[in-house]
Amino acid sequence: MNSSARRTLSAFMGILPILVGVLLLASMVVQLIPGLMRSGLFGHSLWEDTLVAALVGSIATAQPIVSYVFGGELLKAGVDLLAVTALIVTWVTVGIVPLPAEATALGRRFALWRNLWAFVAALLISALTVGCLHVLKG
| Whole-number average pLDDT of the chain | 85
Mean pLDDT, residues 120-128 = 96
Q: Greater confidence, 132 or 31?
A: 132
Instruction: Look up the pTM and report it.
Output: 0.72
What is the per-residue pLDDT for 133?
Answer: 93
Tell me if 95 sits within 8 A of 115, measured CB to CB: yes
Nearest to 36 by CA among 22, 50, 56: 56
- Alpha carbons 62 and 67: distance in angstroms, whole number: 8
Nearest to 125 by CA among 77, 91, 99: 91
- Domain hosting 117: range is 3-137
The count of other CB atoms within 10 Å of the CB of residue 88 is 23
pLDDT tens digits, residue range 44-102?
888 998 999 899 889 876 677 777 877 887 888 788 999 999 999 999 999 888 899 89
- For the chain, the domain total comes to 1
Mean pLDDT, residues 14-30 = 75
What is the per-residue pLDDT for 103?
Answer: 92
| pLDDT band at residue 37 under the 50/70/90 scheme | low
